[in-house]
A and B are shown apart, each in its own frame.
Chain A
């Protein structure tokens, strides 16, 4: 008598269903992980942006007369544009707009991978906020994420809108 192999149709169906569920679970696992990674990265950018702007317009800086020091990370511990809460100092604003971008980034804590920032200081001219000072780099065509935060302050008793944009420079296709 010859030997026979039993491989019924219901086993094939059961295996098919099992594989479909397994693949769906794997896809779900990957999708969940990827979404988590993107959200974490975005959250990191959101926090850095808000902290940087808050430090600039709410604090005096350390040292408070940092414009009198060399613009290096060893001489300055914390940057600021203000003399007191929301009262900006003209000298500090113009000094920072001419300062080295890379050192400014480091002092503001903008240290994430490929993170760049742009700070716009616009003052009220009676009818609208006009561009006055710009610090940093404008987001370019390769920017993959942009976080924008706006706050208000006074610069020489004039209403001032400070807008910071933190963006991620993305040159390769993996971004």
Chain B
């Protein structure tokens, strides 16, 4: 009698492969949503920071700040320029001789160097027409 009652009950056949199929479909849809919802980083940001570096070195060279800094052995004006960079930017400027000997360096206050940075280099002359290389590394805060 008990067995007869069990046979009378309704059942749902939901095989293991069907469960797998539903789970895989669900996971794929979820993965697509997660992938699409990820915020894409601004592809122009590295270009911006590189341009800022190049601009900085160019104007410091053209207004003779770099030349004066080498000749007076003072990076005070370069430091003022770096400190006035926009809030989100950090950077440092180093000046080396053609033999790669460090002459001057300055870094924006409140910044610590990061691995993800861009760098630009500009050559200029100072003193007895000696060639120096100014390098600027810049990164986002």
User: Is the CB–CB distance between B25 and A159 below 8 Å?
Assistant: no
Query: Could you say which residues of chain A place their CB within 8 Å of the CB of B29?
Result: 21, 24-25, 28
User: Count of B residues near A, CB < 8 Å?
Assistant: 28
User: Is the CB–CB distance between B62 and A31 below 8 Å?
Assistant: no
* A65-73, A105-113, A144-152 - the one binding chain B: A144-152
Interface flag for B52 (CB, 8 Å): yes
Interface flag for B6 (CB, 8 Å): no
Q: A4 CB to closest chain B CB, in angstroms?
A: 16
Pick from A17, A46, A87, A153: contact of B42, CB below 8 A.
Answer: A46
Pick from A10, A17, A129: contact of B13, CB below 8 A.
Answer: A10
Interface flag for B44 (CB, 8 Å): yes
Q: Contact string, A125-138, partner B, CB cutoff 8 A, digits 1/0?
A: 00011000000000
User: Is the CB–CB distance between B12 and A153 below 8 Å?
Assistant: no
Query: Could you say which residues of chain A place their CB within 8 Å of the CB of B10?
Result: 9
Bound Cα distance from A150 to B51, whole angstroms = 9
Interface flag for B86 (CB, 8 Å): yes
Bound Cα distance from A21 to B29, whole angstroms = 8
Query: Could you say which residues of chain A place their CB within 8 Å of the CB of B14?
Result: 10, 13
Bound Cα distance from A31 to B34, whole angstroms = 11
User: Is the CB–CB distance between B59 and A159 below 8 Å?
Assistant: yes
Q: Contact string, B6-50, partner A, CB cutoff 8 A, digits 1/0?
A: 000010111000000010011001001100100010111001100
Bound Cα distance from A159 to B81, whole angstroms = 9
Known: A86-B62, A159-B63. A31 touches B55 (CB 8 A): no
Bound Cα distance from A46 to B46, whole angstroms = 13
Query: Could you say which residues of chain A place their CB within 8 Å of the CB of B22?
Result: 17
User: Count of A residues near B, CB < 8 Å?
Assistant: 30
* Prevailing SS type, chain B contact patch: helix
Q: B98 CB to closest chain A CB, in angstroms?
A: 24
Interface flag for B105 (CB, 8 Å): no
User: Is the CB–CB distance between B63 and A157 below 8 Å?
Assistant: yes
- Listed in ascending order, the chain B residues whose CB lies under 8 Å from chain A are 10, 12-14, 22, 25-26, 29, 32-33, 36, 40, 42-44, 47-48, 51-52, 55-56, 58-59, 62-63, 81, 84, 86
23 A-B contacts (beta carbon < 8 Å): A9-B12, A13-B12, A17-B22, A21-B26, A28-B29, A31-B33, A31-B36, A43-B43, A46-B42, A50-B44, A86-B55, A124-B84, A150-B86, A151-B51, A151-B52, A151-B55, A152-B55, A153-B59, A154-B59, A154-B63, A157-B63, A159-B59, A159-B84
- Listed in ascending order, the chain A residues whose CB lies under 8 Å from chain B are 9-10, 13, 17, 21, 24-25, 28, 31-32, 35, 39, 43, 46, 50, 85-87, 124, 128-129, 149-154, 157, 159, 161
Given pairs A86-B55, A153-B55, 19 additional interface contacts (CB within 8 A): A9-B12, A10-B12, A17-B22, A21-B25, A25-B29, A28-B32, A28-B36, A31-B33, A31-B36, A32-B36, A50-B47, A86-B59, A149-B48, A152-B52, A152-B56, A152-B59, A154-B62, A157-B63, A159-B63
